[in-house]
Amino acid sequence: MMASSVSGTEEVRVSTLTPLKLVGLACVFLALCLDAGALLSPAWVTAEDQYYLSLWESCWKPVRSADWSCNTTLGTDWQIATLALLLGGAALTLLSFMVALLSLCCSCRSRCNKPVAVMLFSAVVLQLCSLVLFPIKFIEAVNLRVYHEFNWGFGLGWGSTIFSFGGAILYCLNSKNYEDYY
C-alpha cells in the first residue's frame, strides 16, 4: 500500500511491494519447485516399460526378466555436463529466491531487483543449455530400437526455465512507473 501524509509542505511516501514483484517471487518459487522435481525425477526418457533414464541412472529390463539392471549416468561427459548445468541453474534460482525474499524483509527492494533479475537470466541460460544438450546427445549416444519419449522430468526442467524467465522479466520491470496505480 502507498502511504502518504502531508504535514505542512512535506510529503512522505513509503514504497510498496507491487503485485509485479509478488508475481515475480511466485514465479521464482515455482521455478525452484520444478527444478527440484526435474533433478529428482526418475523419468527423463522412457521406452515401453523396458527402459528409463534419469539424470542419475539408466535402467533397462531384459525382455524375459523381471529384474531391472541399472547403471550410473555419471560416466559420460554429456550427462555430467547436463547435470552440472541444471544444478548450476537451480543454485542460481535458489540464490535469487533467497535474495528476493530477503529484500521483502529489509528496505533494499529497489536495489535487489536488478541482481535478482541477472541471476534469473543466468539460470535461464544455464538451464537452456542443459535442456538443449540433453536430447541432442541422448539421440546421438543411445541406440534404442523401441519407441522412446522424453518424459515428465524433462518437461519439469522446461517448466522451471519458463518460470525463471518470467520471474526475471517481472524483476526487470521498473515498479516506479506503476507506483501510482498501487
In a domain? residue 130: yes
Q: What is the CATH number of the domain that holds 163?
A: 1.20.140.150
For the cut 60, the answer to whether the pLDDT of residue 34 exceeds it is yes
Identify the domain containing residue 147 by its residue range. 16-42+77-181
In a domain? residue 92: yes
In a domain? residue 49: no
pTM score of the predicted model? 0.81
| Residue indicated by cell numbers 520491470 | 173
109-141 helix and 77-105 helix, angle to the nearest 10 degrees: 160
In a domain? residue 63: no
In a domain? residue 27: yes
So what's the pLDDT on residue 2? 45
In a domain? residue 1: no
Domain count, the chain: 1
In a domain? residue 117: yes
Which run of H or E residues covers position 11?
strand 10-14
How does residue 176 score in pLDDT terms, banded at 50, 70 and 90?
A: low
In a domain? residue 124: yes
For the cut 60, the answer to whether the pLDDT of residue 58 exceeds it is yes
